[in-house]
Amino acid sequence: MDIELFRTFLTVARLGSYSAAAEALSLTQPAVSRQTARLEAYFQTPLFYRAGRRTLLTEAGIEVKKRAEEILNLVEETTHTIEAMQTHASGTIHIGASTTIGNYSLAPMMLTFRDIHPQVDAHLHIRPTRDIMELLRERKVDAAVVPYTPEIELYKAITYVQDEIMFTAAPHHPAARSSTLSLNDLLQTTWVVRSAESNTRQTVEKQLKQAGIKHPDGLKLDTTEAVKQALQTGKGISYMSKMAAELEWQSGSLVPLHVDDFFCLRTFYLLSPDQPYSSAALDRFSTFLTKEIKLPRYKTFL
């Protein structure tokens, strides 16, 4: 039903005259009569009756007037809400992120986003890549920041950042004393590694396989922070994202290992459902993440 019929109906009811309503609405009197007739046809009952020169509401018309006012008030409130959402982003968004990018990049950025867009209630969910993709499939998150996955073709994907994975160790580990190393050199020492589900590990495994090297078993730990703590004993080496190792490299508790035959780069993407529309809050977050924020320039530590 055309809500303009209700506007015309209420104008006639308020002014008590078809001609006065026509003038107020900048319509012809026949146009006003046709619109009220359409409404009466819809409800299959008269809504007005004539009393002298006045046009008054029938009992059904009184009930329609009450409901029409409620409907138009609701439409107006909804219009204002949507306009506010588009102009001043508001609402709730849920962002998923794989563990490395979530912990070491997005977590601190969320505070900056909240400062810029205080009306947006943003939630960050950090899980392994596989779990984040499941949340995205089930629409339990509005968008996700993850490394490349075959499922990326099913979503709208925006490149977020490239991330280099490097080997690292404590400064007193023997490997740290060499200015240049090869992968074969590293095979002679103990490796501390993430579990098989880790995307960081899977990325390195592919890189090693291309070099004809099988990934060592090593000591398996579930989190990057656990790996860092183990490395500081000086009894093993590992690999991790440069963004994950930044603080330790700056403090000197860990150092990067420069391996001549190893260069491992992966790309993180912002994924969202491939649909023609999205919320204003999600649009603001996407713009913030891919255009407004400049990621820190991590030191090369060479």
Same domain assignment for residues 76 and 157: no
Same domain assignment for residues 149 and 176: yes
pLDDT tens readout for residues 149-201: 888 888 999 999 999 999 999 999 999 999 889 999 999 999 999 999 899 99
Residue 89: exposed, middle, or buried by beta-carbon count in 10 A (0-12, 13-18, 19+)?
buried
pLDDT attached to residue 119: 87
Of the residues 22, 57, 87, which one is the last residue of a structural domain?
Answer: 87
Q: How far apart are CA 238 and CA 263, in angstroms?
A: 14
Taking alpha carbons only, the member of 57, 76, 80 closest to residue 10 is: 57
The helix (run of H) or strand (run of E) holding residue 234 is none
The helix (run of H) or strand (run of E) holding residue 179 is none
pLDDT tens readout for residues 238-286: 999 999 999 999 999 999 999 999 999 999 999 999 887 778 888 889 9
Same domain assignment for residues 51 and 29: yes
Lowest-confidence segment of 233-242, 276-285, 290-299 by average pLDDT: 290-299
Structural domain count of the chain: 2
Same domain assignment for residues 262 and 302: yes
Same domain assignment for residues 12 and 40: yes
Please identify which residue in the block is written with the tokens 């000086």.
234
Taking alpha carbons only, the member of 220, 210, 224 closest to residue 263 is: 210
CATH of the domain at 232: 3.40.190.290
Same domain assignment for residues 99 and 183: yes
pLDDT attached to residue 292: 63
Q: Are 95 and 142 in contact (CB under 8 A)?
A: yes
pLDDT tens readout for residues 80-136: 777 665 665 678 999 999 999 999 999 989 999 999 888 899 999 999 999 999 999
H-type alpha helices, the chain: 4-15, 18-25, 29-43, 59-87, 99-101, 107-116, 129-137, 183-186, 199-210, 224-231, 242-251, 280-287
Of the residues 87, 116, 142, which one is the last residue of a structural domain?
Answer: 87
> What are the CB-based long-range contacts (under 8 Å, 24+) for 274-281?
274/154, 274/155, 274/156, 275/156, 278/142, 279/85, 279/91, 279/93, 279/142, 280/85, 280/86, 280/89, 280/90, 280/91, 281/85, 281/89, 281/90, 281/91, 281/92, 281/93, 281/117, 281/120, 281/122
Same domain assignment for residues 212 and 77: no
pLDDT band for position 301 (cuts 50, 70, 90): very low
DSSP 237: E
pLDDT tens readout for residues 209-231: 999 999 999 999 999 999 999 99
CATH of the domain at 80: 1.10.10.10
Q: Are 166 and 204 in contact (CB under 8 A)?
A: no
Q: How far apart are CA 153 and CA 28, in angstroms?
A: 55
Number of neighbouring beta carbons within 10 Å of residue 121: 13
pLDDT attached to residue 211: 92
Same domain assignment for residues 239 and 96: yes
pLDDT band for position 23 (cuts 50, 70, 90): very high
pLDDT band for position 78 (cuts 50, 70, 90): confident
Q: How far apart are CA 3 and CA 10, in angstroms?
A: 11
pLDDT attached to residue 296: 45
Domain range holding 170? 92-302
What tokens appear for 53 in the block? 């020169």
Task: Tell me the pTM.
Answer: 0.67
Of the residues 87, 118, 144, which one is the last residue of a structural domain?
Answer: 87
Which residue type occupies 2? D
Q: How far apart are CA 114 and CA 100, in angstroms?
A: 21
Same domain assignment for residues 79 and 102: no
Please identify which residue in the block is written with the tokens 């098989």.
196
Same domain assignment for residues 73 and 163: no
Q: How far apart are CA 96 and CA 32, in angstroms?
A: 53
pLDDT band for position 2 (cuts 50, 70, 90): confident
pLDDT band for position 1 (cuts 50, 70, 90): confident
Same domain assignment for residues 244 and 301: yes
Same domain assignment for residues 74 and 111: no
